Amino acid sequence: MKLLKRAPLRTLAALALFALAMPQTALAIGTEAGTTISNTASVSYSLGAVSQRPVESSPSGNSVAGTGNGTATTFLVDNKVNLVTAELVAAATQAGPGQTNTVFAFNVSNTGNTVQDYTVVASNFAVGDTVNLGGLLTDDMDVTITAVAVDTSGDNAYGAGDTTTAGNSAVISNLSPSTAGTDSNITVFVLATVPISAVDGSVAVVGLNATTFDAGGGGITSSNAGDVWDTTTVQVVFADGAGSDDVALNGDYSARGAYVAAAALLTVTKSADVISDPFTTTGNPKAIPGAVIEYTVEINNSGTAAADSVILTDVLPATLGAPVTITGGTSSAYNSTTNTVTIDFGTIGAGAATATATIRAVIQ
Amino acid sequence: MKRITLMTLCSMVLLLSVPVTGFAQEKGHIELKSIAEIELETTDDKGERVWVRSPAEKAFPGDEIIFTTTYTNISEERADNVAITNPIPEQITYRADSAEGQGAVVTFSVDGGRTFDKPENLRVTGEDGRERPARPSEYTHIRWLLQGALPPGREGTVSFRGIIK
């Protein structure tokens, strides 16, 4: 081994020249692992004025004159394993309570220089775990992960054309490296069921960890740092960074995502008022037999999801007669056998929307 | 017929057994040795950062490789007009100003080794069809022309650096 200090760059001009010399396109295409890089130098010379046959180089030294008598000095480009897992969009997936096959999308990129397989495993995080998706979200519910799908259709949207594997893991096969200049990343969908008990704004943090495998599925291990460079074999080095839940240089990369429950949150308020009685013509009527009572029912949705098919059921007291008038809702009905009023409100929108109905009946 | 076949076979074996060190093995006057290395940054016993040149790392895109060619005059005669030519491997981008060689004039080629010149004189035709100065990344060959004769027994090195594409 020769010890030497790196020679400083001679002039600023040389530096400037170097900066100009770096072509933008050269970094986009890289050399794939397993590529042999060969180099042969040759020397021409003369003895006096007589030109001699050139001599080519060899790794150990060649002096046999003539083209083709040298041996190329070669080495193989090694396998730099590098990958990144990230959320496809930095936003939580909104899902209603009880919703199945709700999708959070991750993206796995092969940033190394070899075609690789990856096993991706999805997980549900514990209460208190956090993720930052345009704002900090703290886990306070659990989703059930039902399947993991690989975006084989390549449209970044989950659909029938994608390869779906039940359970919490899937395999990405033959993902090209970024150095090949082709598509080097693929989207992975985590499919989950939100619990029916989820309340509006509940957060479930989920994660996806990708582990590198040889193309074809074989396990892959990094060469030890102590291994000397072997110019004749493709050696493996893990060059990946630390993801959300894995350490650097382990061939894994993880990221977190989240589901946020978008539920309707209905508040029902009912008040009663006396509209008239048969004896008080001016002033304040009282609740005496023959008086008309008006019930006002207010339904307020303060949740983040619209409530559909909202039906109010109100059993009137037996001491009241059949309703005189019913207002509000899209339709209403009265069942005299059960003394029940039903009012169909249809959809009540999200964000403090209010629907009101009134029922008037006479005290018997 | 059988005999002829056998004869043919024999001559084939004979042909194959002609040693590669046959008549073509005329020994030249200069021995040329070429190696490829990688530099590693490390700290020496004095705590100073030094670069250790050794084949002890892996080779990846973006890594810098040092190609060193050692020339030795192994004859009893003086060699004149010694010129060492090294084509830059196609997966390697030449690093500007990295070609070194004591007592040698370094020139480059941008036309596959047909012509050589100093960097300031090298021109290529750009994508717009107009001539412009060549970039070091466009060099295809490097030539070191030794100034003065190479006496018997004298050894020297020339080198350059390149980045794996």
Q: How many CB atoms lie within 10 A of CB A26?
A: 16
Question: Which residue in the block uniquely carries the two structure tokens 């001009």?
Answer: A13
Verify whether the Cβ–Cβ distance B97 to A10 is below 8 Å.
Answer: yes
What strands, in cross-sheet order, belong to the sheet with A292-301? Answer: A266-276, A292-301, A353-362, A325-327
Predicted confidence band at B13 (pLDDT cuts at 50, 70, 90)?
Answer: very low
| Residue A162 tokens, joined | 């994608």
Q: How many CA atoms lie within 13 A of B90 on its CB side?
A: 4
Is B70 an interface residue toward A (CB < 8 Å)? Answer: yes
| Residue A9 tokens, joined | 């760059």
Within-domain flag for B146: yes
pLDDT of residue A304: 85
Within-domain flag for B67: yes
Rounded alpha-carbon distances, angstroms, from residue A239 to A223, A305, B58 = 11, 44, 11
Q: 3-state SS of chain B: helix, strand, coil percent to 5?
A: 15, 45, 40
Residue B17 CA to residue B41 CA, distance in Å, equals: 49
Verify whether the Cβ–Cβ distance B58 to A235 is below 8 Å.
Answer: yes
Using CB atoms, which residue from B32, B44, B52 is nearest to A57? B32
* A55 within 8 A of B28, measured Cβ to Cβ: yes
Q: Smallest CA–CA separation between A202 and chain B, in Å? A: 46
Residue B98 burial class via C-beta count within 10 angstroms: exposed 0-12, middle 13-18, buried 19 and up: buried
Q: How many CB atoms lie within 10 A of CB A121?
A: 17
Q: What is the CA radius of gyration of chain A?
A: 37
Using CB atoms, which residue from A47, A57, A179 is nearest to B61? A179
* Per-residue pLDDT tens digits for A225-267: 667 778 888 888 898 999 999 999 999 999 999 999 998 889 9
Verify whether the Cβ–Cβ distance A47 to B79 is below 8 Å.
Answer: yes
* Per-residue pLDDT tens digits for A20-55: 333 333 333 478 888 999 999 999 999 888 899 999
Q: What is the CATH number of domain A266-362?
A: 2.60.40
Our count of domains for chain B comes to 1
pLDDT at residue B1 is higher than 70: no
Within-domain flag for B9: no
Query: Could you name the CATH architecture of A79-261?
Result: Sandwich (2.60)
pLDDT at residue A325 is higher than 60: yes
Within-domain flag for B158: yes
Within-domain flag for B92: yes
Same fold for the pair A79-261 and A266-362: yes
Within-domain flag for B17: no
* Per-residue pLDDT tens digits for B134-150: 999 999 999 999 999 99
Instruction: Give backbone dihedrals phi and psi of B18, rounded to 5 degrees, phi first.
Output: -60, 120
Predicted confidence band at B10 (pLDDT cuts at 50, 70, 90)?
Answer: very low
Residues of B numbered 116-155 whose beta carbons fall under 8 angstroms of chain A's beta carbons: which are they?
A: 135-137, 150
Residue A172 CA to residue A181 CA, distance in Å, equals: 19
CA angle A287, A293, A294 (to 5 degrees): 145
Is B67 an interface residue toward A (CB < 8 Å)? Answer: yes
Verify whether the Cβ–Cβ distance B97 to A69 is below 8 Å.
Answer: no
CA angle A15, A20, A26 (to 5 degrees): 115
Give the number of A-B residue pairs with CB atoms closer than 8 Å. Answer: 199
Verify whether the Cβ–Cβ distance A44 to B83 is below 8 Å.
Answer: yes
pLDDT at residue A1 is higher than 80: no
ipTM at complex level: 0.74
| Residue B124 tokens, joined | 């290529």
Residues of B in contact with A41 (CB under 8 A): 32, 34, 67, 69, 84-86, 158
Give the range of the structural domain holding residue B139, as residue numbers without chain letter.
24-164
* Per-residue pLDDT tens digits for B24-50: 467 889 999 999 988 766 677 777 766
Which CATH number belongs to the domain containing residue B108 in this structure? 2.60.40.1170
Residues of B in contact with A235 (CB under 8 A): 58
Within-domain flag for B5: no
* Per-residue pLDDT tens digits for A220-230: 887 766 677 78
Verify whether the Cβ–Cβ distance A77 to B31 is below 8 Å.
Answer: no
Predicted confidence band at A179 (pLDDT cuts at 50, 70, 90)?
Answer: low
pLDDT of residue A230: 81
* Per-residue pLDDT tens digits for B71-124: 999 999 999 999 999 999 999 999 999 999 999 999 999 999 999 999 999 999
Within-domain flag for B80: yes
pLDDT of residue A142: 95
Residue A36 CA to residue B26 CA, distance in Å, equals: 29
Using CB atoms, which residue from A2, A47, A223 is nearest to B77? A47
Q: Which amino acid is at B58?
A: K
pLDDT of residue A282: 78
Per DSSP, chain A holds a count of helices (H) and strands (E) of 1, 28
pLDDT of residue A229: 76
**How is chain A split into domains, by residue range?**
12-76, 79-261, 266-362
pLDDT of residue A18: 38
pLDDT, averaged across chain A: 87
